[in-house]
Amino acid sequence: MDGTGNKSLLGANAVLGVSLAVCKAGAVHRGIPLYRYISHLAGTPKVVLPVPSFNVINGGVHSGNDLAMQEFMIFPKGAKSFKEAMQMGSEVYHQLKTQIKEKFGLDSTAVGDEGGFAPRIHSPTEALDLITEAINKSGYEGKMFIGIDAAASEMYREADGVYDMDFKNPAGDYMNWKTGDEMIDLYLSILKKYPVVFLEDPFDQDDWHNWVKLNSQISVQLVGDDLTVTNKNRIQKAIDLDACNCLLLKVNQIGTVTEAIDAAKLARNNGWGILVSHRSGETEDCFIADLAVGLAAGQIKTGAPCRSERLAKYNQLIRIEEDLGEKAEYAGEKYHNPLAS
């Protein structure tokens, strides 16, 4: 209908609205839930409730603090159901709020774009120490894990080929610059010390060399967002180079439900995980909740357990789990490949 490679004629958001409407109409016409219809379109053998990735600390361009990395998330893969995962996430989130208020003051419990807190911290280890403490105090050590979205394209200084860990400070200097190798050392030290199970966008979207280098040295999920932008050509390049092992799936990046399903299939057929994602600017539409279940993606990233535009998705997932009853299956430890036997 658009005819261009990037939806530049009609615009991806305009095309997406029509695509979502047609998909929802198809489900109504067949008299089945939307997640079942998506499963039918994708040819998925079963539906699965995803592990939620709750944003709890915001940094980067999504908050006003000095923290360079953009998102620090908690990941309850040790839960037995989505309902339990939701409870675990909410408890850790509020425990973290208490800690931040005690350490930094009440004004530091303001939230960023995705609902995570934005305390006055600078280093990623400060954020990770706070989160680990909250997990342990909530009694979820060994059940709750951590994910990081570095959004490193935002801190990349292309002219110098370095990553500025103080890029939000106008008075910053080269003392906070890191080379690709230094960034790899930072990530490896984090993985050694903290219960981190995935890294997202650890390098600039075109820093393919360091993506490949890091992926060869780690065993956790390496998630491509800016790297792949839900585009089949970039996904295929990442597959060919072995640059990452998980796709961040954003429907509005590619523009249609059909193309999003095709991107997910390409990723899955090559052994990748699939992490269905919101955007930092969201609405209360909960389509991606049904998408994650219908694709049996195993993972969803849609912000903190607060704010109506985030909770709309989580509430829909609770409704789907209730609708499935005893047949409900939560991805849990199989989040990377929930269809594995």
Domains and CATH numbers, the chain: 32-334 (3.20.20.120)
Strand partners, 145: 75
One-letter amino acid at 265 equals K
Per-residue confidence (pLDDT) for residue 167, from 0 to 100: 93
Candidate list 143, 168, 250, 313, residue with the active-site label: 250
Q: Is 55 helix (H, G, I), strand (E, B) or coil?
A: strand
Residues 15 and 2: beta-carbon distance below 8 Å: yes
- Dump pLDDT digits (tens) for 74-96: 999 999 999 999 999 999 999 99
Q: Is 122 helix (H, G, I), strand (E, B) or coil?
A: coil
Q: What is the mean pLDDT of the chain?
A: 95
Per-residue confidence (pLDDT) for residue 1, from 0 to 100: 65
- Dump pLDDT digits (tens) for 286-341: 999 999 999 999 999 999 999 899 999 999 999 999 999 999 999 999 999 999 87
For the question of residue 137 being annotated catalytic, the response is no
Question: Which strand ranges, in their side-by-side order, compose the sheet holding 156-157?
Answer: 156-157, 162-164, 177-178
Q: Pick from 260, 220, 211: which is nearest to 238 by CA? A: 211
How does residue 106 score in pLDDT terms, banded at 50, 70 and 90? Answer: confident
Residues 200 and 232: beta-carbon distance below 8 Å: no
Which residues, other chains included, contact 2 with Cβ-Cβ below 8 Å and sequence gap of 6+?
Answer: 8, 9, 10, 15, 255
Quick one: three-class SS letters along 165-229? CCCCCCCCCHHHEECHHHHHHHHHHHHHHCCEEEEECCCCCCCHHHHHHHHCCCCCEEEECCCCC
pLDDT greater than 90 at residue 263: yes
For the question of residue 114 being annotated catalytic, the response is yes
Per-residue confidence (pLDDT) for residue 169, from 0 to 100: 85
- Dump pLDDT digits (tens) for 164-190: 999 988 877 788 999 999 999 999 999
**DSSP line for 13-35:** HHHHHHHHHHHHHHHHHHTS-HH
pLDDT greater than 80 at residue 117: yes
Per-residue confidence (pLDDT) for residue 94, from 0 to 100: 98
- Dump pLDDT digits (tens) for 3-59: 777 777 877 778 999 999 999 999 999 999 999 999 999 999 999 999 999 999 999
Number of other CB atoms surrounding residue 121 within 10 Å:
21
- Dump pLDDT digits (tens) for 134-164: 999 999 999 999 999 999 999 999 999 999 9
Structure tokens at 57: 């600390």
Q: What Cα–Cα distance (Å) separates residue 142 from each residue in 7, 79, 85, 197, 330?
A: 44, 10, 13, 12, 17
Candidate list 71, 91, 114, 282, residue with the active-site label: 114
Per-residue confidence (pLDDT) for residue 171, from 0 to 100: 75
What average pLDDT score do residues 109-136 get? 94
One-letter amino acid at 64 equals G
What average pLDDT score do residues 67-80 get? 98
59-96 as b/e: b if 16+ CB within 10 A? bbbbbebbbbbbbbbbbbbbbeebbebbebbbbbbebb
